[in-house]
Amino acid sequence: MGEVFRFKRQPNFGLGPRRRRLGNLSASWRPVVAVVCGTLIGYWMTEPITDQVRSIVGASSNFRICVRAKQQNCVIDGDTIRHGGLTIRLEDIDTPETHKPKCASEAALGRRATSRLLELLNDGPFEVVHTGGRDKDIYGRKLRVVMRDGRSVGHTLVAEGLARYWDGARRSWCG
């Protein structure tokens, strides 16, 4: 008669045979996976915003102020544009309101911010970048950063006193 082989049964812990086998295999790969994940996370955390997810490359010289509801390649206000079939909210800044402003100074500064954003968009090619945060705001606008030469167009507006960095809180532009 032939020999009978008996295998020592490993505890299953309710995971089933396939899961148990993969679990044993993955244990030998854990250090490799940890190093790869750590490297990728470290790379992602140190990369500039321009190397994150790109969505649209914009052409220049064809933006106008929006006057119609579905007009394309236009500036709605200092922090909102329509481009590539999308309404895009510049996620990194806040500008004064031009639609229903709270005071005359907010309306005036909002018009200046809108005009300056129009100039900046028409100055040359730019990128519309999704930075990996929320995709849309509560109004359905895509949240993106407009970049040119590795610099946010919104940061230019902030430097010129026409916008402030968006911190998630609405604050008054009136005195």
Task: Report pLDDT for 22.
Answer: 44
Closest CA to 153 of 93, 95, 97: 93
Reported pTM = 0.67
The residue that leads in pLDDT, 145 or 55, is 145
**Do residues 87 and 77 touch, judged by C-beta distance below 8 A?**
no
pLDDT above 70 (res 4): no
**Do residues 89 and 168 touch, judged by C-beta distance below 8 A?**
no
pLDDT above 60 (res 105): yes
Catalytic residues: 89, 97, 141
Task: Report pLDDT for 9.
Answer: 52
pLDDT digits (tens, 9 = 90+) for 23-37: 454 556 566 655 555
Q: Which residues contact 143 (CB under 8 A, 6 or more apart)?
A: 88, 89, 91, 130, 133, 134, 135, 136, 137
Average pLDDT over residues 94-109: 92
pLDDT above 50 (res 111): yes
Task: Report pLDDT for 76.
Answer: 95
Where do the domains of the chain lie, and which CATH numbers do they carry?
Answer: 8-46 (no CATH), 49-165 (2.40.50.90)
pLDDT digits (tens, 9 = 90+) for 38-49: 554 444 443 444
Task: Report pLDDT for 57.
Answer: 61
Q: Which of 66-70, 76-80, 119-123, 159-163 has the lowest mean pLDDT?
A: 66-70
| Mean pLDDT for all residues in the chain | 78
